[in-house]
A and B are shown apart, each in its own frame.
Chain A
Amino acid sequence: MLNEIAAEHHAVPGGTLKMTARNVNVFYGQKQAIKDVSIDVTQENVTAFIGPSGCGKSTFLRTLNRMNDTVASARVEGEITLDGEDIYSSGMDVVQLRARVGMVFQKPNPFPKSIYENVAYGPRIHGLAANKGEMDQIVEKSLRRAGLWEEVKDRLTDSGTALSGGQQQRLCIARAIAVEPEVILMDEPCSALDPIATAKIEELIHELRGRYAIVIVTHNMQQAARVSQKTAFFHLGTLVEYGETDTIFTNPREPRTKDYITGRYG
């Protein structure tokens, strides 16, 4: 019975399993930030994590590529798998994991290097290109997929930091794409961007869907509604409701979800 309830909670039908989390708890020192979260991330869908500040959605996102390892006081319990493989097992190469599960952050953070080097850096350290020609191809393909190629193809040697905020964010997405990830995690990728740059990123998310499993944390509920097919609502470290985005925004099951999305929370 309990298993059935749990199963109903973390699984949303439709889609090939890419990542799974089971009974995940995260602690920062004594404080528990994530409480017993189980969820499935599917290959074909964009999954949005929503919830008020401090609800644990970003913390949980970071457990999916072990970014919390960089926080000394953080401790993760439970099981998280990528294609069925436990990413917290001792045999897991974290550098390799982060190449497979890429990340885009809230503020665009290009390296203080040329546009070309920003994209080429990852493939170079992972040895993905045998020569300059192959590297050129990877850079062009990544920039094209990130919807930035036409805007920067004539100035690839300019500094990445000289681009506009929206362009920088797309450069960061190109950089994440360049190492051929399987999953892309986005932590509020548009919160520092204007509406047009935001729309371009959203269009890009739409384009990238299917090629990569995408998980996006956003404070902007309209954005979650626009870009995702599945939505998970977090509150006080727990996963309150996980379902079809359509359902979450038109007829959520849980009163707490309803209060949050209709603007009644708090």
Chain B
Amino acid sequence: MKPIHELGDQEFEALARRAAAMPDAPPALVRAAIDLWQTAKPLSLQAIVRRITAALSFDSWTVEPTALGVRALPSDAHHLLFSAMGRDLDLRITPSNDGFALTGQILGPDEAGEVRLVAESVGAVAKVAALDALGEFRLEGIARGSYLLTVHVGGDEIVLPPIEVGDRSG
């Protein structure tokens, strides 16, 4: 069988047609396979990571932004900056149609990773998002409450202080 780069135009098009028609596995099977991560992950996969506690360096609701040269955000947005051993985390909490959205960016070494949001009252992971190529992430549909956000990047686990999601008035 010829490698793809040696296929003629008609042969490649025939292959592309088959590719377009390639069916997905049943969604329930795919979901169950994804969920194996929660139920069947061996203990050895829980790698020894460096746990770092991030420090809050800026909170838009406790200081006038213009005093630090930071561009003012709409008053209902909450802007937080954290630092963690060579990395900075820029986090913004904004109201949205279905609760609140948390958007952010990890500033530092260019690495793949993910963020996990845990509701303090429940103790279970509420949302997970992968960092994109720019180190940015977005979590949507967040209800009011207190949350713990952890960032897993480059073998480190960065733990933020508890974050309050809600309106400025409380």
Q: Do A and B bind each other?
A: no
Could you list which residues of chain B lie within 8 angstroms of chain A, going by C-beta atoms? Answer: none
